[in-house]
Structure 1
Amino acid sequence: MFDSHILVNLTYVVAAILFIVGLKMMAHPRSAVRGNLLSSIAMLIAVLVTAYMIMADGDATWAGWLLIILGLAIGGAIGAIMAIKVEMTQMPQLVALFNGLGGGASVLVAGAQLIGMPETEATPDIMLAIGLSGLIGTVTFWGSLVAFGKLQEIDFFERPLPIPSPQAINAVIAVVSLILLIVMMAAGVGWPYLVIFLLATILGFTLVMPIGGADMPVVIALLNSYSGLAAAATGFVIDNNVLIISGSLVGASGIILTQIMCKAMNRSLVNVLFGTMQASSGPAGSDEEIYANVRSTSAEDIAMILDTAQRVVFVPGYGLAVAQAQHAVRDLANLLRDKGIEVEYAIHPVAGRMPGHMNVLLAEADVPYEQLKEMDEINPTMGQVDVAIVIGANDVVNPLANTDPNSPISGMPIIEVDKARTVIVIKRSLSPGFAKIPNPLFAAENTLMFFSDGKKGVLDIVNAVKEL
């Protein structure tokens, strides 16, 4: 007789392969949507097969099945509503929230397994997996909530921690948690799990609260990795192969992405976790002095400047996402290309508030992928650009990163738009970016400020170009 567990494991292998292929496809904008769909199908297969396995083993009562069905229905409804209603500008917050929910789910599953587990099954490897799941999952849950609060700019989460030496506290908590994990392994007892949960709750706050908003893209990527590691540990707890594989994929890809983000900001992971992006006074003098020579312009003047240009580079930032200006920018770019002007987009790896934020926005507007140029590719030729149009970007074009060693963004690679012949900055005001420091670029001799909402400003330029 055919063993149903063999069929289940074979199906898990299929789901794992789909996860891997889907993840590979999501690495390229052209195939990202199909990759996401493929990964969603893999998750659906994994969920349905797990439900089948529970039914085949006779482990679920009618009440248990009711809870499973209700969970699928409620979770699916919430996911669908959030996917439809959440704006693109709120996507970083949504990702942070999903990371936290993934970590929280791992904590609950491992805890439930611990409660119902016979003493004979409390082997050292299983107890270690349970403890790690609880530790990593709890840190992920609370740390992600803090990251959500910072991204949402909730005042409570932007305040400094009212405790001295949080780094020393983190070290003590880590050591105590390690001792408790050893106790769980050696003695096979479950009571340390609750203590680990309480300590990890504190650790989730003390790790993320001191980290500045400018480092949030790195934190999101790292917490994403944590959620995967917690899921993989939980997979060992409940002996679920697809959970181990998918969790490992998320954990590994999250670490790789974190390293990419750190490189893009010229910061080490240790510096992000144990240092803070403290606000600084920036260059000497008040904001009034720094911006004394700011020159404003109009849509008509910009249209005339563009009419004589041969190469134009758009530099998108978070303000573009807020204004939902990506379609208007695409229309302006198409107008310029029709005039024979070379058009490109300079993409900073941490522009916006999560990795790949600008790529997603521009892909949504059907901007050709070939026109998107990474920072390292575009910077060597910025001196040959006739017009650089900065839309809502601030910190990622701030020359203080190269000129002020005391600046909190000192050493962070930027898109060097200041080298272009003419720089046009479309921005509502002279307000600082996420790093809370002024930007001398706005007052540079080759810079013109167009004070406007991103979408309205670009549409005004489009109309002015058409009237030429």
Structure 2
Amino acid sequence: MNNTLLTGIELSYLVAAALFIVGLKKLGSPATARQGNVIAAVGMLIAIVATLIDQSIVSYELIIVGIVIGSLIGAVTAQKVAMTEMPQMVGIFNGVGGAASALVAVGEYWRLLDKGTNIGFDAVLIAILGILIGGVTFTGSILAFAKLQGLVSGSPVTFPFQQPFNASLLLAFLAGSVYLFIHPTSPEILLALVAISLVFGVMFVLPIGGGDMPVVISLLNSFSGVAASVVGFILYNNMLIIAGALVGASGLILTQIMCKAMNRSLTSVLFTAFGGETSGTGNGATATDKTVHAIDAEESAMMLGYARNVVIVPGYGMAVAQAQHTIRELAEQLEKMGVEVRYAIHPVAGRMPGHMNVLLAEANVPYNQLYDMDDINPEFERTDVALVIGANDVVNPAARHDNTSPIYGMPILEVDKAHHTIVIKRSMKSGFAGIENELFYDDKTFMLFGSAQDVVANLVSQVKQLQ
């Protein structure tokens, strides 16, 4: 390849990297997220075209076949996957990225073996890291998908001697790695390391409960980026190194944000099996000790329609019922009556970071009505009605004062400070944390039972009659 063409490829990579960074910046706001996605996609297109120019990689025929198959799968999936299943889809994407990185690491190592090339320390190290991170990301993401999809229990799964077993896996991987450094032409050891990394990925996610899934999703996303970056070194591809590093860093930052929103450290998320099914409120009280104030749609509509301001708090129950479009319609009807409507978004509401933002954006809810937790909490004391739709743990006041509660110290949306609170839920069943929500028994709280889709549709009808 002549120097001019090589320079053109490197400049294309530089432009693509700049577009990635700009795209990530714009993804930080709901108002510019779509534009950021397009910009990053253009950057990826430039990077792919520049890479395809290097014919030493693989034949164009195989590349075209791969693009066609992948595009068909992606297009069909995008059409069929519901918005409620977006966390599962993200989990699968993370897994596919990890698997691709691990396969490239193994394939490149095997190519060096077949060529009889002297495999140096750096090549062995990069291959081992690619296998470890990629393998863990693949099986960990598949298990996360299974938990979110309900194929596997969402509660933490533990068994006797689990930690010693995990430690033995890690020691076995380290021992195999050392042996491979000494005897780099040992493909059977390489395959053994692949098997260990796959098992370790399962063991990594198995003890993590459903309540911690937003953290796990973002962490595995970071892993997939790091794996891609590592593989970039073995392929001597600067674009892959940069893109992987950006994904890895952004995923890690998001993981830290999620942990902060839950007031938990990453180590406690990974090793304390939080999120199992428990009973009680965390302080020994039971549901039978308190009274629930039920309300019907007509009374709720009157409270909402004659309020000055309403704050809507969406949760996973809204996602399950696919009620985001009906909620937007309710907000529009309330605004026609002069009610100020805002939405309060908790960072870990739902099953992945930004889950509620994605759903509300899909329903064309105005971006300026979405408020982060820190911005909306001071406003609840001046709010006439807080309408909680399918949220649970993120509005539980026990997080503020009950030091025996598993969620103690977690920042919450302080809806209990509103003048009145209406909670739409199917039942009194606990959330991911597995504890009773004391908000439901508050004197200012009214429970409106039923599917969010049906209940909100009824509210829309009742509010229209008030106009």
Q: TM-score range by the shorter chain?
A: over 0.9
Distance 1:314 1:37 in 2: 30
What is the CA–CA distance in structure 2 between the aligned matches of 1:312 and 1:83, rounded to whole Å? 34
Question: Which ranges of structure 1 fall in alignment gaps of 5 or more residues?
Answer: none
Shift of 1:138: 0.2
Q: For residues 67 and 399 of structure 2, what CA distance do their matches in structure 1 show?
A: 48
* Closer/same/farther in 2, CA of residues 207 and 180 from structure 1, 3 Å limit: same
For 1:19, the equivalent position in structure 2 comes to: 20
Change in CA separation of 1:464 and 1:354 when aligned onto 2, cut-off 3 Å: same
Tell me the equivalent position of 1:88.
83
* Counterpart for residue 339 of structure 1: 337
Task: Quote the residue 2:128 is aligned against.
Answer: 131
Decide whether aligned partners of structure 1 residues 372 and 159 sit closer, same or farther in structure 2, where only a CA change above 3 A counts.
closer
Distance in 1 separating the partners of 2:103 and 2:266: 29
1:264 aligns with 2:264: no
Q: Does 1:172 align with 2:168?
A: yes
Aligned equivalents of 1:252, 1:194: Cα separation in 2: 29
Q: What TM-score does the superposition give when structure 2 sets the normalisation length?
A: 0.93
Preserved contact between residue 262 and residue 268 of structure 1 (Cα < 8 Å) = yes
Residues 357/159 of structure 1: CA separation in 2 closer, same or farther (3 Å cut): closer
Which amino acid in 1 is paired with 2:11?
Answer: L
Letter in 2 for 1:296: A
Written as runs of structure 1 = structure 2, the 5 A alignment for 1:195-214 is 195-214=192-211
Partner of 1:346, secondary structure, is strand
Distance of aligned partners of 1:70 and 1:125 in 2 relative to their CA distance in 1, 3 Å threshold: same
**Cα distance between partner residues in 2 of 1:293 and 1:157:** 29
How big is each residue's C-alpha offset from its partner over 1:233-265, in whole Å with a ceiling of 9 and x where there is no partner? 000011111110100000000000000000000
1:38 shift after superposition:
2.0
Is 1:140 aligned to 2:137, yes or no? Answer: yes
Shift of 1:386: 0.9
Partner of 1:28: 29
Residues 1:252 and 2:249 are matched in the alignment: yes
Deviations along 1:300-323, one digit per CA (max 9) or x if unpaired, are: 111221233222110000111122
> Which secondary structure does the structure 2 equivalent of 1:30 belong to?
coil
User: Do the aligned residues in 1 keep the contact of 2:156 with 2:273 (CA within 8 Å)?
Assistant: no
Aligned to 2:413: 415
Contact conserved, 2:279 with 2:434, CA < 8 A, in 1? no
Q: 1:307 aligns with which of 287, 305, 308?
A: 305
Higher mean displacement: 194-203 or 174-183: 174-183
Superposed, 1:342-421 pairs within 5 Å as 342-421=340-419
Q: Which residue of 1 aligns with 2:104?
A: 109
* Alignment correspondent of 1:76: 71
- Report if aligned partners of 2:321, 2:452 keep a CA contact under 8 Å in 1: yes
Looking at structure 1, the residues matched to 317 and 177 of structure 2 have their Cα atoms a distance apart, in angstroms, of 46
SS in 2 for 1:367: coil
Q: Residue 96 of structure 2 aligns to which amino acid in structure 1?
A: L
* Displacement after TM superposition at 1:121 (Å): 4.9
Higher deviation after alignment, 426-435 or 209-218: 426-435
What is the identity, as a one-letter code, of the residue corresponding to 1:153?
G
Write the letter of the residue equivalent to 1:368: P
Measured against aligned partners, the alpha-carbon deviations of 1:189-219 in whole angstroms (never above 9, x if no partner) come to 4533222212212211111100111000000
**For the structure 1 residues 121 and 44, does the alpha-carbon distance in structure 2 shift closer, same or farther, using more than 3 Å as the test?**
farther
Letter in structure 2 aligned against 1:344: R
Please list the CA deviations of residues 428-468 of structure 1 after superposition, one character each: whole Å capped at 9, or x if unmatched: 22222222222222222111111122122122212212211
1:41 maps to a residue whose letter is V
Structure 1 residues 246-300: Cα deviation after superposition (integer angstroms, max 9, x where no partner): 000000000000000000000000111111114333333543x05x521221221
Q: Return the letter of the residue paired with 2:371.
A: K
Give the Cα–Cα distance (whole angstroms) in 2 for the partners of residues 39 and 224 of structure 1: 17
For 2:173 and 2:308, the matched residues in 1 are separated by 61
Tell me the residue number matched to 2:449. 451
CA–CA distance in structure 1, aligned partners of residues 333 and 432 of structure 2: 32
**DSSP 3-state at the match of 2:344:** strand
SS of the residue corresponding to residue 216 of structure 2 reads helix
AA of the residue aligned to 2:87: P
2:386 is paired with a residue whose SS is strand
SS of 1:29's equivalent in the other structure is coil
* Cα deviation code 1:125-163 (max 9, x no counterpart): 2221111000000000011011111111223665724x4
On the 8 A contact 1:183/1:189 being kept in 2, the answer is no
The residue type paired with residue 184 of structure 1 is L
Cα separation, 1, equivalents of 2:234 and 2:254: 27
**Counterpart for residue 92 of structure 2:** 97
1:27 shift after superposition: 1.0
Deviations 1:156-178 (A, max 9, x none): 665724x4232333333334433
Opposite residue 257 of structure 2, the aligned amino acid is I
Distance 2:381 2:419 in 1: 7
Of 184, 188, 192 in structure 1, the residue corresponding to residue 184 of structure 2 is 188
1:95-122 deviations in Å (ceiling 9; x for gaps): 0010001000011111111111145452
- Take 1:172 and 1:50, find their aligned partners in 2: how far apart are those partners? 41
2:236 maps to 1:239: yes
SS at match of 1:425: strand
**Aligned-partner Cα distance in 1 for 2:30–2:154:** 33
Contact 2:148 / 2:154 at 8 angstroms: preserved in 1?
Answer: no
RMSD over aligned CA atoms reads 1.9
Match of 1:220 in 2: 217
Counterpart Cα distance in 1 of 2:152 and 2:206: 12
Which residue of the partner structure matches residue 160 of structure 1?
157
TM-score, normalising length from structure 1? 0.93
Note the alpha carbon deviations across 1:364-413, whole angstroms, 9 max, x for none.
22222222111122222322211000011111112232343333222221
Q: 1:44-63, aligned counterparts within 5 Å?
A: 44-54=45-55, 57=56, 60=58
How many residues align? The count is 459
- Distance, in Å, in 1 between the alignment partners of 2:153 and 2:373 is 34
Tell me whether 171-180 or 270-279 shows the greater mean CA deviation.
171-180
8 Å Cα contact 1:100/1:227 also seen in 2: yes
